[in-house]
Structure 1
Amino acid sequence: MFSSLVLAATLAAAPAPRSAASAQTVVHVPRLDAMAGLSSFLERAGNHAALLRPSAWRAELHPFLVIDPTKPETLASAGLDAAGPATVSLRDDGRVSCLRVKDAKVFQEKAAEAISAAGGEEVKPTTSKGVTTVSVKRSAGGAMGYALKGQEVCSFGATDTGGPALLKEAVKLVGKAPAQDARLGKLPGVAYLTSGGTVLGLDGTSSALKVEGTAAKLPLPPFQARSTSPYGTMKSEGMLFSRVAVAPAGVSQAVGSLRATIQAVCPACPREQVQSMTDAVAKQLTGNMLVNMDNVQVRGSLRAPESRFFAVRQALAAEVTDAAAVKSALTPLGRFPGAKALADGWALAVKGGNVFVRLKDKQLVVGNDEAVTQATLAALPVTSAKLERAADFSLDPKKLARGLNQVSLADVLADEQLAALFAVSSELGPLLEQSERITGWMDSAPGNAHRFSFTWTLPAAK
């Protein structure tokens, strides 16, 4: 009984987007007049990243009308309700934009003017079963039009072959009340975006963007919140600082990822011994881990595995249940080519640098830079503390921007992944340079998914 009431309350509060079938991406705004804070952040951020500038995406809100959610008069002049919802569905054959009408006569007049101005044929509305429809061909190809019933209108812009299908979809969308989307109801926000297995809720102020969402199939292990963490009191000082509690089922996955990376930079290390050694260590890990990425120093082409590995100066710490058992499991490391014994562990010379493996009480620390490894060891606290989430992180955007700027043109031309980094640097680098901090958290969610949140902070507006 109680669970049924909770479910009913969730559905009642959930947004109800008029989403087109087969949409690849859907943007839903429950109330257009509630976007002032989010728009103010995007306006400021857009001064440094053109992609985020509201003027760059306002044209995507409607197939033929020019509207601006931050200026209610543009909606009113088109006969639309500034306090109503908006849903934009992107499909292979075009897009559908559903809004609420305040004055149907004004909307039809403005729509006819806009369609004609956009190269459409003569607008001839037809009405059947209470639904008024318009569908015209464009001189540039494709079709555009709308379906209007009562206060609901869904407009479309279609590719060469998508006109009939999108007209039919628009008629269907205005013909019935939209269903609540419980996924959106679980997320705070004034605007929502769904794409594939990712759902985002967005809100903001002039100085901060808040994003919360869920995503499936992220290349991350499952997380599990714990009562305390040995890293609970540690503070971030580098480029990226993250404290995580990996679920037991994800420990082997996390260790396997590190093992593959080290094996790539040390092909001479005996594969079977590396496997058995890391498997033994994985059995002793509690799941509490720390990632400390200090900065980026690119030396050589990032197409080489060793250059990628040593480009980010970092150290990883992991809590162990039995330090003596871990030390015993790691003993074969001392016989690897290039290995050197240290007072508290080993240094392994590999192509491009050294890998440091060190033990401090019940903390195993693996790093690719001596100074960062030593600093991480020195900062390990004596007492544990509770973490609010299974994983949290803090990112210094200025250090990240400087790191992205080190990707060379030669690497960009030869590697798709590096080309993507270059694109991020070009588009967001100037904004990162002007940002204060990016912080967030992550938890596991049902269905092998993850829930996450982050806040992107700009300096206080002057």
Structure 2
Amino acid sequence: MLPLLLATALAAAPAPRAAPSADTVVHIPRLDALQGLYGFMARAGMQSVMMRPANWNAELHPFLVVDPSRPATLTSVGMDPAGPATISFVRRGKVSCTRLAEPQAFQARAGEALKAEGELKTTTLQGMTAVVAPRGPGRAGYVLKGSEACAFASLYDDDDLLKATVKLMAKAPTPDARLGKLPGVVFIVQGGNVVGLQGTHNGLQAEGTTSKLPLPPFKAAGTSPYGAMKPEGLLFSRAQVAPAGLAQAVSAVRGNIQQLCTGCPPAQVEAVARALTPQLTGQVVLQVDSVKVTGSLRTPAGRFFAPRQALAAEVKDAAAVKAALAPLAQFPGAQVLPDGHALTLQGGRVFVRQKGTQLVVGNDEAVVQHLLAALPAQGAKLPRAVDFTADPKRMAAALSQVSLMDIVSDQQLAALFAVSTELGPLLAGSERLTGWLDSAAGNAHRFALSWELPPQAESPLPP
């Protein structure tokens, strides 16, 4: 039975004709299914150059100009609009494989495009026709077999990519079961990371798996004490951390405090964290109200205190947690509060407060108090291990606060500035970002993101 189920799953999975050496693969099961996604990109492209469909169309083929939102541009070069396309980005260049409706029309148009820079060289091998021509410093061409063609463009003046393309065409494409498990009209594969994209005129949906998120493992969804809370602020996220990930989560908080409190005894900070960890249920909620940069983001203090945030965690035994936190009163600059402690760190203060079985830690007193007041009396079920909601307008305002000196002094901050410049106007004009996370096998995570634009009547794309 298991082999039969596996065979059935593979038969239904998309089969990209992807180069084995590709760093990134983009697979489109049907070129004529991109209308909705292109509708979103057309709207987003009004505020972000990188989102414009015209910029993405240039990546679909090495030397032919096509636009999937206009099927006539595909049929005019012999391609099948209902067929798949797979683009493999390799270190030596790019390979694009498509299905053809009219192979002769494709050969004619491809020949016109290729001979513009040099003489065509045509060979026939194992039932395949290979055509190559000089192109810039390298070479370009295609390999044709029946109703399929793989076109390539190489950065080098040699036959390596041609040979690789011939080898690629000689074998049947292998089904990729990972793609069959994801919704999407476009799939992007990069190493072990896979994402599927689909969209409408008013929104973009992405769903995938990744092994690169620096996050702890999460537990299957269930009832959360924060399930009934209303999302607020720049970022609002609820999660249920798996028992195996609690030490990692607490260690991250402990590391930040230790880094900014050089006078705090490391052994005592570690002892507090060690005593607190087994008292956590794994249920947490994070609220980032906004970002207010008051110092250089190049410093640990500047990065820690820029986001005004608070984190609530459910605990098993309130009395035991209170006892575990008692040593904080002896830390340099500590202040004992009626419901917890305030620690004076380099660049600001951290508040540790307790309300029954709820422990709240934050770097802004107003945000901490607001989160304490918002904690509901009863929980509710969450559909996923992690969910999150972000306010794109507040995100745009946050990104705009990266200073010139930070940009020229730090590559990561320069990247944030680039994101702000490119996506800031689009974020400022968006409605909301929502999504979820689940743990997956092999320390990976499954994720989904929905990007919503203001509602607008759809206008049909030109034929």
TM-score, normalised to structure 2, is 0.97
Equivalent position to 1:147, from 135, 143, 151:
143
1:358-386 CA-partner distances (Å, limit 9, x unpaired): 00110110000010000000011111111
- Contact kept in structure 2, 1:339 and 1:346, CA below 8 Å: yes
The answer to whether 1:21 aligns with 2:16 is no
More off after superposition, 69-78 vs 299-308: 299-308
SS in 2 for 1:460: coil
1:317-346 CA-partner distances (Å, limit 9, x unpaired): 111111111110110001111111111101
In structure 2, give the amino acid aligned to 1:410. M
Kindly report which structure 2 residues correspond to 1:153-168, keeping only aligned pairs within 5 A, or say none. 153-161=149-157, 163-168=158-163
Identity of aligned residues (%): 59
Q: RMSD between aligned alpha carbons?
A: 1.0
2:54 — aligned with what?
A: 55
2:453 — aligned with what?
A: 458
Q: Give the Cα–Cα distance (whole angstroms) in 1 for the partners of residues 193 and 347 of structure 2.
A: 37
Q: Give the Cα–Cα distance (whole angstroms) in 2 for the partners of residues 440 and 360 of structure 1.
A: 29
Q: Give the Cα–Cα distance (whole angstroms) in 2 for the partners of residues 457 and 287 of structure 1.
A: 30
The answer to whether 1:353 aligns with 2:348 is yes
1:98-136 CA-partner distances (Å, limit 9, x unpaired): 00111111111100111123x2x2123222221000122
Using a 3 Å threshold, how does the CA distance of structure 1 residues 142 and 387 change in structure 2: closer, same or farther?
A: same
2:5 — aligned with what?
A: 6
Kindly report which structure 2 residues correspond to 1:34-113, keeping only aligned pairs within 5 A, or say none. 34-113=33-112
Q: Give the Cα–Cα distance (whole angstroms) in 2 for the partners of residues 345 and 41 of structure 1.
A: 48
TM-score, normalised to structure 1, is 0.97
- Contact kept in structure 1, 2:310 and 2:361, CA below 8 Å: yes
The answer to whether 1:134 aligns with 2:143 is no
Q: Give the Cα–Cα distance (whole angstroms) in 2 for the partners of residues 26 and 381 of structure 1.
A: 46
Q: Give the Cα–Cα distance (whole angstroms) in 2 for the partners of residues 147 and 89 of structure 1.
A: 15
Kindly report which structure 2 residues correspond to 1:382-401, keeping only aligned pairs within 5 A, or say none. 382-401=377-396
- Contact kept in structure 2, 1:217 and 1:448, CA below 8 Å: no
Shift of 1:308: 1.1
1:210 — aligned with what?
A: 205
Q: Give the Cα–Cα distance (whole angstroms) in 1 for the partners of residues 269 and 352 of structure 2.
A: 13
- Contact kept in structure 2, 1:21 and 1:169, CA below 8 Å: no
- Contact kept in structure 1, 2:115 and 2:133, CA below 8 Å: no
* 4+ long deviations beyond 4 Å: none
SS in 1 for 2:381: coil
1:27-79 CA-partner distances (Å, limit 9, x unpaired): 00000000000111011111111001111121111111001111111111101
In structure 1, give the amino acid aligned to 2:12. A
Shift of 1:165: 2.0
Q: Give the Cα–Cα distance (whole angstroms) in 2 for the partners of residues 5 and 268 of structure 1.
A: 64
Shift of 1:226: 4.0
Q: Give the Cα–Cα distance (whole angstroms) in 1 for the partners of residues 221 and 144 of structure 2.
A: 53
Kindly report which structure 2 residues correspond to 1:271-290, keeping only aligned pairs within 5 A, or say none. 271-290=266-285
List runs of 5+ in structure 2 lacking aligned partners: 458-463
1:375-410 CA-partner distances (Å, limit 9, x unpaired): 000011111111100000000000010000000010
1:301 — aligned with what?
A: 296
Shift of 1:173: 2.4
Kindly report which structure 2 residues correspond to 1:176-325, keeping only aligned pairs within 5 A, or say none. 176-325=171-320
- Contact kept in structure 1, 2:40 and 2:204, CA below 8 Å: yes
Q: Give the Cα–Cα distance (whole angstroms) in 2 for the partners of residues 423 and 236 of structure 1.
A: 28
In structure 2, give the amino acid aligned to 1:150. G
Q: Give the Cα–Cα distance (whole angstroms) in 1 for the partners of residues 201 and 4 of structure 2.
A: 37
More off after superposition, 175-184 vs 424-433: 175-184
1:341 — aligned with what?
A: 336
Q: Give the Cα–Cα distance (whole angstroms) in 2 for the partners of residues 204 and 227 of structure 1.
A: 29
